[in-house]
Amino acid sequence: MRIEVLSDRPDQLGEGPLWDVREQRLYWIDSYGPAIHSCDASGGDRRSWSVPEPIGSMALRERGGAILSLRDGFYTFDFATGSAERFAETQPGELRPRMNDGKVDRQGRFVAGSMDFEESEPVGKLFRLDPDWSVHTLDTGIVCSNGPCWSPDGKTFYFADTGKKLIWAYDYDTATGNVRSRRAFTSFENQRGLPDGATVDADGFVWSCEVYSGRLIRFDPNGVVDRIVGLPVNSTTSLTFGGPNLDIAYVTSMARPFQYEYHREREAGFVFAIHGLGVRGIEEPRFRG
């Protein structure tokens, strides 16, 4: 296994890495930049775009451009002009929630959740944005939405509430995008850190980026720890598999000094590329709206 620093400058809160097979490029966000970044598989040809509000996640669109979850709702984004336009406010009149992590399901719907700014109260919700631009609430009572991802067949949806130290599993209706039968997939009560961004590999194992501990934890489909990979900094936040063979793990991290001293680590906030894990990811779909 080999770990390389991919990016050439730190992010305040790097998140949401996304490998696009069509372009053969990595995208990620700096939530408090706030900005979108992109580069090729080896970190070259870097491009960046500023956005007007704190950004929780992004998804590329089939028709070009992107869908963003910014602080107060869903936005369209034009890479050519840098313009972001809101089309749906998710929790109008509520001051504590902000939109956070999101990802596209196998059918092209965008699922993203919100979180409490203070990361203490269950004011967050889980939303589904359909290709017809309608927004649906899937779940409520969330402290900090993170790590949405699906099993290879799309029928199990995994979702972390970082504030509750849990990754949930739901039955996912691939025809409608509705969820049911929520149950605890795994708890982080006895782990060193908290569940943050996540992805599923081609074997159906869930990879969670354990924030505040600098580890990737791979769980089997029953929620049992299968493998732990140590990382160069403790402030790692999320991961995706990419590269020409979808076998490189790209991991984001944060330099923003919350309450933890180790954010003074020299490489905190950079993006890392992990080679030689011996597993492959699954191609991430684009939003079909």
Binding residues: 15, 98, 100, 118, 146, 196
State which amino acid sits at residue 136.
H
Q: What is the Cα–Cα distance from 281 to 248, expressed in whole angstroms?
A: 8
Residue ranges of the binding site for a divalent metal cation:
15, 146, 196
Residue keyed to tokens 């995994």: 158
Neighbours of 87 (CB within 10 A): 13
Q: Which of 139, 196, 201, 247 is catalytic?
A: 196
Does residue 196 have an active-site annotation? Answer: yes
CA distances from 244 to 24, 137, 283 (A): 7, 36, 11
Q: What is the Cα–Cα distance from 177 to 111, expressed in whole angstroms?
A: 9
Q: What is the Cα–Cα distance from 228 to 210, expressed in whole angstroms?
A: 10
Q: In what order do the strands lie in the sheet with 124-129?
A: 97-104, 110-116, 124-129, 135-142
Instruction: Enumerate the active-site residues.
Output: 196
